[in-house]
């Protein structure tokens, strides 16, 4: 049984001063992330030993996680990316559109699919369907964060950094409206930030209209 760190809903750490307006709490610190990535790399190397693998990473949220992960892998590997966008409103996911296809041939090869977060499972399910159609030898899934409370598709990762509660998280590659990717930690976004984004703008009535 893999010893996956589970973050308690009550767990909290102080937020750096410059992020206190936007963050409710630090959920996972940069030190925790670094330590866990080393552990994940050991698990992956054990399972893929003596075989070349193709690492397939989902853009864009995986960039920081991917870079730190592969730096700790001494296995021979090749790297490629799949681009997937979810067109929805606010914080809800919508229709999935592939924005970048694989360049490498994965037929008969071992594939490690890397993503930043697994929540509903819809994106991973679609990507796995596309990859399986390319006839790889096997596919394993590695995610930094697993949010099982949101799952609607029957998919589970093979390697998990942390299991987290149903919080809106940003940082370490994860974004809201393309912001916060550069945070070195994973933080819980203050609801005021995304609620303000979803709120409809008030219509300003010009003085000429008011007179009519």
- Integer Cα distance of 145 and 11 in angstroms: 16
Instruction: Characterize 175-198 residue by residue with b for buried, 16 or more Cβ atoms within 10 angstroms of its Cβ, and e for exposed.
Output: bbeeebbebebbbbbbeebbeeee
- Integer Cα distance of 141 and 147 in angstroms: 15
119 is catalytic: yes
Pairing between β-strand 186-189 and β-strand 23-28 as defined by DSSP bridges: antiparallel
Catalytic residue among 119, 146, 158, 175: 119
Q: What angle do CA 74, 34, 123 make, to 5 degrees?
A: 80
**Enzyme catalytic residues:** 119
């Amino acid at each position: 049984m893999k010893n996956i760190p589970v973050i308690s809903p009550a767990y909290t750490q102080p937020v750096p001063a410059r992020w206190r307006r936007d963050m409710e709490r630090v959920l996972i610190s940069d030190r925790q992330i670094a330590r866990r990535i080393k552990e994940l790399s050991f698990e992956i190397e054990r399972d893929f030993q003596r075989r070349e693998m193709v690492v397939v990473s989902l853009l864009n949220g995986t960039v920081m996680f991917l870079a730190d992960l592969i730096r700790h892998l001494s296995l021979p590997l090749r790297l490629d990316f799949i681009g997937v966008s979810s067109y929805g409103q606010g914080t809800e996911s919508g229709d999935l559109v592939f924005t970048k296809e694989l360049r490498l041939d994965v037929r008969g090869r071992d594939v490690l699919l890397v993503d930043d977060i697994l929540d509903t499972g819809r994106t991973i399910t679609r990507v796995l369907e596309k990859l399986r159609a390319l006839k790889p030898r096997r596919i394993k899934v590695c995610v930094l964060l697993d949010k099982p409370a949101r799952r609607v598709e029957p998919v589970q990762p093979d390697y998990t950094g942390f299991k987290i509660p149903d919080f809106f998280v940003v940082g370490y590659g994860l974004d809201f409206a393309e912001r916060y990717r550069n945070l070195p930690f994973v933080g819980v976004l203050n609801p005021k930030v995304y609620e303000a984004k979803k709120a409809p703008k008030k219509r300003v009535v010009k003085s000429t209209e008011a007179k009519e």
